[in-house]
Chain A
Amino acid sequence: GAVVSQHPSWVICKSGTSVKIECRSLDFQATTMFWYRQFPKQSLMLMATSNEGSKATYEQGVEKDKFLINHASLTLSTLTVTSAHPEDSSFYICSARDPGRNTDTQYFGPGTRLTVL
């Protein structure tokens, strides 16, 4: 139980293009999802908190116009990296809470490797 999936698992794009990453909770409804970014050999950095039906809350220093987050349903949140540049290349990981199981536990997706050429 409490499975979170991400799609795609990896993506390569040209500089200036936009990329959309999907995060789905497969067997539970997630009112809250989180998006993290992780650079090689570093920890997870929280980018934003996404609540279903409302605007995402972004962490300080994260450009909300560049990283568009949409949480349109209780099982799907999307992260769109707009006008991607090589410095946006990173490992993007989403997580979700299952309020029916434990309101604190965050279950993580497998991650999406983004490479911007």
Chain B
Amino acid sequence: QQQVKQSPQSLIVQKGGISIINCAYENTAFDYFPWYQQFPGKGPALLIAIRPDVSEKKEGRFTISFNKSAKQFSLHIMDSQPGDSATYFCAASRPGYALNFGKGTSLLVTP
């Protein structure tokens, strides 16, 4: 079963807008929550990651918001650019185990 649920499946945002992708999890043993960006035919690249003791983390235009009580976390891409058009995956893992990925969100940023 999908341990990490991601939405929306696809997203279209105008250049300069904010892209928001949401994920939810059930396993409270998860303690590491990264976001990956993947371009067609390439491997995923780590964007940003957060741990449950922090509610928000920002790196450049990318921000993760984390709600431990709701078991949800989200990725915000500020000032979205056409070059941000890619597939984004949220993931979660517990210590010593592999990442569990969401199903992915295909983001298209229009000029």
Total number of A residues with any Cβ neighbor in B under 8 Å: 22
B interface residue numbers (CB < 8 A to A):
31-32, 34, 36, 41-46, 49, 89, 93, 95-96, 98-104, 106
- Would A111 and B43 count as touching, CB distance under 8 A? yes
Q: CA A103 – CA B45 in complex, angstroms?
A: 17
Q: CA A49 – CA B101 in complex, angstroms?
A: 15
A interface residue numbers (CB < 8 A to B):
4, 6, 34, 41-44, 46, 49, 91, 93, 95, 103-111, 113
- Would B43 and A49 count as touching, CB distance under 8 A? no
- Candidates A42, A46, A104; contact of B95 at CB < 8 Å: A104
Residues of B within 8 A of A49 (CB): 98
CB-nearest residue of chain B relative to A44? B101
A3 CB, min distance to chain B CBs, angstroms? 11
With A108-B45, A111-B42, A111-B43 given, is the CB distance from A43 to B98 under 8 Å? Answer: no
- Candidates B42, B44, B49, B96; contact of A44 at CB < 8 Å: B44
- Would A106 and B43 count as touching, CB distance under 8 A? no
Residues of B within 8 A of A103 (CB): 95-96
- Candidates A42, A44, A107, A109; contact of B46 at CB < 8 Å: A107
Residues of B within 8 A of A109 (CB): 43
B101 CB, min distance to chain A CBs, angstroms? 5
Residues of B within 8 A of A43 (CB): 89, 101-104
